[in-house]
Amino acid sequence: MAHHRAPLILAAALAAVTACTGPSTEDGDGSSDTFTGEGLLLPGTENPTADADILRYEEDGSVSTVSYNAGADTFTVDNLPFDGDGVYDRDDVVASLNGFNVYENNNLTERRAYKALHGTSASGKTSVSIIRTGSYNGYGFGGFVYTRDGRVNLPRSGQATFTGQYAGTRVFEGMGGQQYTTGDAVLEVDFSDFAATNAVEGAIINRQVFDLNGNPVTLFENDGVTAYSLPTLVLATGSITTAGEIVGTASSERVPAGGTTSSTFEEGNYYAVIAGDDAEEIAGVIVVTSSDPQTGNGVQETGGFFVYD
């Protein structure tokens, strides 16, 4: 396991949340115990271990089973309402997005339009799938699934910096519509302390927004004139289970137009899994919500990432 210094931009992003921590691993008497993730992990694999596959899906979502047919380049989703026969073809407008393939459901006549982002890590050991729709005046149906294929060997010492790509989709409450997002992902992991304390933190930087045609979207303040960019999304210090799973909270802050003080803009959670004989890759999902400064409508962003040591 290589040791790397954290990029300066990550250090700056994390400085604002040094007081934020993930789930406590202390017993009532103040002693430390191994973090199991009990009550915090998403539904899916029961009794996970470092020696076996792991599958997790969104707790309140409509998706728990997905499959990919590499020969036909189609993506299949089970049990999602109003998506036709559940078979998704590669999107003919935006076919890929920052390392993720983009798919759309077939036969849209009298059906809802869904977009699916599906990615597999370079090794093939992890995958992330996200399905959302902008066909409702609310966040609508959808969900996500992420998996690890095989075991992970977690080091007992050392720190590492993982970097990679992030892609996601935004849907809205109070109006229809859907957008894509991209960014760069950075995670810092302290393997020396993973079994007894919080040991992961990170950020999604260089965030951009695109419409469904792949065109950049300009975001405006409530005056409809002043443009702003999505701020760095900070992954606050989270914890690693002995099976190699990660849970933590995610948030961002921004200073509104005409203001002088920053305040919380987005809030949510991140979930991830570590893979590899040298714990060399991490795959995960982030879900955050916010209020659009211009319209006041709720915004839900769901994104996936793959990062490598």
Query: What is the reported pLDDT for 156?
Result: 86
Q: How confident is the model at residue 26 (pLDDT cuts 50, 70, 90)?
A: very low
Which of 250, 240, 234, 254 minimizes the C-alpha distance to 287? 250
Q: Is residue 194's pLDDT more than 80?
A: no
Q: What is the pLDDT of residues 141-158, one digit of tens each?
A: 999 999 999 999 999 888
Stretch (H or E) spanning 178: strand 178-190
Question: Which 3 state secondary structure label does DSSP give 234?
Answer: strand
**CB 54, CB 242: distance < 8 Å:** no
Counting beta carbons within 10 angstroms of the beta carbon of residue 196, is it exposed (0 to 12), middle (13 to 18) or buried (19 or more)? middle
pTM, full prediction: 0.89
**CB 288, CB 303: distance < 8 Å:** no
Q: What is the pLDDT of residues 106-134, one digit of tens each?
A: 766 657 899 999 999 999 999 999 999 99
Tokens of 279: 């714990």
Q: Alpha carbon 94 to chain centroid distance?
A: 20
